[in-house]
Structure 1
Amino acid sequence: MVTFFAALVLLILGYIFYSKFIERVFAVDDQTPTPAYAQKDDIDFVPMSWWKGNLIQLLNIAGLGPIYGAVAGALYGPVAFIWIVIGCIFAGGVHDYFSGMMSMRHGGAQFPSLVGRYLGKHIKVFINGLSLVLMLLVAAAFTAGPAQLISQISPVSFITALVIIFAYYILATVLPVNRVIGRIYPFLGGILLFMAVAVAAALILSGKPMPNLTFSNLHPGELPIWPLLMVTISCGAISGFHCTQSPIIARTMKKETDGRRIFYGAMVIEGVIALIWAAAGMTFFNGTYGLQEALAAGGPSGVVNEISTSLLGTMGGVLAIFGVIILPITTGDTALRSSRMIVTDLFSKFFNMDGKVKILLITVPLAIPTFYMATIDYTFLWRYVGWTNQVVATVMLWTATMYLLKNYKFHWISGVPATFMTGVVSMYIFYAPEGLNMDYQISAIIGSCITVAVVVWYATQILKYRHQKQAASDFTAV
């Protein structure tokens, strides 16, 4: 229990101190009007209060990610606590803050547009495709699960449930952001928080011993921590999906100083939620081996349902069902909305029709392949979300690094985690079963070579902008 509370305190301290340091490096300015006012269109660009933005951002980026991912990550033992804390403070919080604030500074630009501006057109083309694939995969995966549960607990068939969910998706994607998302999502975000806090309180009061970090139990089991843990627990530590969602809220910010509370704050809250569920998974089933048996028997939804019902009784069961159905849906619809926004940016030069007609014409073609993928096995889809998700996160961190370099700011705050995540994704694609399924040692060597090559490129960029800064300083002096 000492480890759990220590991790919780560190997350809070990370928000209080490190987020302020990040904000100072970015250099916020409340004198410049935000896109919510400068480009107000009453559809995507609509001013909203920071607390609404925080809860909506939390719901958009979280869903069941910090619950299912944390429960699966708990199989690695108490080392999961370390990754959640370090990943959230030094990688995820930085990633989310810069993805939101850079979007806001560039008129509410989508993630691929930022990539193109700071990493070049070729990377932009790649990331456009990868981002769309990621969001459609997330939307499909986060639809299949709820539809399956609805068909199990009601007379509604799986396909009928899918049709109902997608009808809502299209409605939520087409309507102005303050109509459905702005009114309902803060309330649903509050429920997500309440569910996590209630589970934590019940777990503490249950008297079950929470695992503490020791040299003997740091990582029980045979699963290799590197790089699997960093992909298994993404939501709660660092997740590329977040940078696709941040522009939605970046277009609603009233002032720049709200960014720290909205983006970094939502990431830390998600980290707390992941911490709670990782602790619950390890504690409730008396260790990682008991958790592994429970996951094999009922999957993540079965584990979440058993924990909630056993600890919280009938209310826990209701919350579990509500969460497994509602929370992923509220992530799926914003994934589709972000897809629509990216495609709109891509083809903005070719569309001159009415805004709502244009939105509908773009949304429907995106919904069709997503609907089809939702009929595929959920676990199959989720396997491919992980690596795609973390590649997007890595590219966003490098985008932030180049932004800081070009503006002669302290680039290490994003460059170090970008290097770390490059190592993760470079090895994972070669080692993972859904990748090339190669030998662990060979995968590690190839991944290390790729990472070294990227570090060399980073070093050349540092020297380039250092020389530019010196040349500019010499010219000014003359």
Structure 2
Amino acid sequence: MIIFLIGLVILIVGGAIYGKFCEKVFGPDDRDTPATTLADGVDYVAMKPWKNKLIELLNIAGTGPILGPIQGILFGPIAFITIPVGCVLAGALHDYFVGMISMRNSGAQIPKMMYKFMGNGATKIYTVIIWILMLLTGVVFIYTPGDLIVGDIMGMDVKGNVIWIVYAVILLYYVISTIFPIDQIIGRIYPIFGAVLIISAIGVFVGVMLDGGANMPALNSGLLTQHPKGQSFIPVFFITVACGIMSGFHGSQATLISRTVKHEKEGRHTFYTMMLVEGAIAMIWAAGAMVLFGRGTDTVTGATQMVGIISREFMGTIGGLFAIAGVIVLPITSGDTAFRALRLMIAEQFNIDQKDAKKRVGLSLIIFIPAILILIYAKSSPGGFNLLWRYFGFTNQLVAVFALAMIVVYLKTAGRNYLIALLPGTFYTFIVFSYIFHEKIGFGLEARIGEMFGIADTSYAISYTLGAICAVLFLWLVPKLASKRKDIILNYKM
């Protein structure tokens, strides 16, 4: 309990101090924002500050900040320190600068900003990855809420025919929210969703506090524990708990809200502070899981199943259903904007006018075809969802590395403190590449070499070495790129 409370203090106090520092580095002023200068009644719509903050929170808070921490807490209480520290120094910084840079560049989506600051080569790679991530995110956020609705709310078999009806209803909502103006659907129903989300998180928090730490490890028992499946804390923890610490997906959502913020000085609370709130949600659900593991709940229980167990344990049958509803809200309010962001990215790439309703509908339908095919595969294949989630986690963090590189270039070009983005970018480069070099969904280097020599090598020696080389290259090359592109960037017109 002490470690959990220390983590909350780091998140709140550290976030308040560092958030102001990030704001000072960026330097918001009183200039007109895209919400007013480019108002089109569809995507560029000035909205009230409280509504922007709530929509940003619901956009970024998918199932990641709940399912990820529930799995991450299996590494021990260290999660209560790494989540807030990472959120303050990396995740919230990432969200703030992406949103503010977009606001300074006509509300551009990240691929367009990537072209300006990183050049054509990086943009081509990034665009492919971000489009894949948006599709995977949308599919994951049809799959998980659908299964929670059918399994935990309706008490039915998630492999039966009913699940496809529920998937179809969620997909229909996504189609509508993707096509309609942002203030007509998302702007109106999100306050209701937000209330459900906040109340469910408060309910779990109260349950954890009433437990009093009786079922949490003592402070002297060590921060890091052996994972039940023998997974390595670095890099697996930071891939697993991605959304609660830092998520590249958030960049695609911050650029949506950059088109609805009326004043630049609203940016810190809209982008930075809302990521801190997501970090708090991640810590609360991680604490709930740790309490139940301390009471004897099997640590191999799936993360989705743990959501229902935690909810009912701390809030009773009725309250538990309400808490589950809060968890269902999270992916739905991220899935709709994932598809919306993908529509805008493709529209920018091919100059498709989004004021034209027919073009909006046509482009949206094209997007949903591959999404449906991926969903069918994930549901019909025995290991389909696990594979989908792993690729989602990896691409999510890889996209964040690209965004941090872009922030470095922006800050260095503007003559500002770029180290605040360079250092977390270097760390996450190591995490992302050491993970993909080691894991079977990537190169599986140690396993392959072990097979060649007839040994069971489960170490990360090769992957850590290659990951470190990639990190050094990031640390060296990104600032050089900023210096090389300075004149191009200063003369570039969006």
Task: Tell me the TM-score normalised to structure 2 length.
Answer: 0.89
1:256 aligns with 2:267: no
Displacement of 1:191: 1.9
- Assess if the C-alpha contact under 8 Å between 2:43 and 2:259 holds in 1: yes
1:218 aligns with 2:224: yes
- Assess if the C-alpha contact under 8 Å between 1:60 and 1:331 holds in 2: yes
Match of 1:446 in 2: 466
Aligned partners of 2:134 and 2:170: how far apart in 1?
Answer: 16
Match of 2:7 in 1: 7
User: 1:239-282 CA distances to partner (integer Å, 9 max, x unpaired)?
Assistant: 00000111111100010010000000110000011111111111
Aligned partners of 2:218 and 2:181: how far apart in 1?
Answer: 47
* Matching of residues 268-283 of structure 1 within 5 Å: 268-283=276-291
Displacement of 1:217: 4.2
Q: State the number of aligned residues.
A: 459
User: 1:167-192 CA distances to partner (integer Å, 9 max, x unpaired)?
Assistant: 11110000010111111112212321
Q: CA RMSD in A?
A: 2.0
* Matching of residues 310-325 of structure 1 within 5 Å: 310-325=313-328
Relative distance call for 1:91 and 1:123 in structure 2 (3 A) is: same
* Matching of residues 93-104 of structure 1 within 5 Å: 93-104=92-103
Match of 1:305 in 2: 308
Aligned partners of 2:360 and 2:234: how far apart in 1?
Answer: 42
Relative distance call for 1:216 and 1:340 in structure 2 (3 A) is: same
Which of these residues, 480, 484, 487, is aligned with residue 460 of structure 1?
Answer: 480
1:346 aligns with 2:349: yes
Match of 2:404 in 1: 397
Aligned partners of 2:185 and 2:479: how far apart in 1?
Answer: 46
SS at match of 2:108: coil
Match of 1:423 in 2: 430
Which of these residues, 171, 185, 209, is aligned with residue 204 of structure 1?
Answer: 209
**For structure 1, which segment, 361-370 or 181-190, has the greater mean C-alpha deviation from structure 2 after superposition?**
181-190
Displacement of 1:378: 2.5
1:364 aligns with 2:365: yes
Displacement of 1:462: 7.2
**For structure 1, which segment, 154-163 or 105-114, has the greater mean C-alpha deviation from structure 2 after superposition?**
154-163
Residue identity over aligned pairs, in percent, reads 39
What letter is aligned with 2:89? F
Aligned partners of 2:103 and 2:140: how far apart in 1?
Answer: 29
Displacement of 1:39: 0.4
Displacement of 1:332: 0.8
- Structure 1 runs not aligned, ≥5 long: 469-478
Displacement of 1:353: 8.2
Displacement of 1:126: 1.0
Displacement of 1:224: 1.2
Displacement of 1:138: 0.8
1:174 aligns with 2:179: yes
What letter is aligned with 1:373? I
Match of 1:374 in 2: 375
Displacement of 1:212: 4.8
Aligned partners of 1:302 and 1:354: how far apart in 2?
Answer: 43
Match of 2:117 in 1: 118
Aligned partners of 2:267 and 2:353: how far apart in 1?
Answer: 32
Displacement of 1:461: 4.8
User: 1:147-174 CA distances to partner (integer Å, 9 max, x unpaired)?
Assistant: 2344442696222222221111110000
**For structure 1, which segment, 219-228 or 418-427, has the greater mean C-alpha deviation from structure 2 after superposition?**
219-228
Aligned partners of 1:87 and 1:9: how far apart in 2?
Answer: 14
What letter is aligned with 1:457? L
Displacement of 1:205: 0.9
Which of these residues, 335, 338, 350, is aligned with residue 338 of structure 2?
Answer: 335
Aligned partners of 2:481 and 2:168: how far apart in 1?
Answer: 49
- Structure 2 runs not aligned, ≥5 long: 379-383, 447-459, 488-494
What letter is aligned with 2:210? L
Relative distance call for 1:414 and 1:212 in structure 2 (3 A) is: farther
Displacement of 1:5: 1.0
Displacement of 1:223: 2.5
Relative distance call for 1:353 and 1:70 in structure 2 (3 A) is: closer
Match of 1:475 in 2: none
- Assess if the C-alpha contact under 8 Å between 2:203 and 2:323 holds in 1: no
Displacement of 1:303: 0.5
Displacement of 1:235: 1.2
Aligned partners of 1:112 and 1:300: how far apart in 2?
Answer: 33
Aligned partners of 1:13 and 1:156: how far apart in 2?
Answer: 49
Aligned partners of 2:284 and 2:399: how far apart in 1?
Answer: 26
Relative distance call for 1:454 and 1:157 in structure 2 (3 A) is: same
Displacement of 1:236: 1.6
What letter is aligned with 2:236? L
Aligned partners of 2:331 and 2:82: how far apart in 1?
Answer: 24
Displacement of 1:112: 0.9
SS at match of 1:40: coil
Match of 1:472 in 2: none
Displacement of 1:218: 2.6
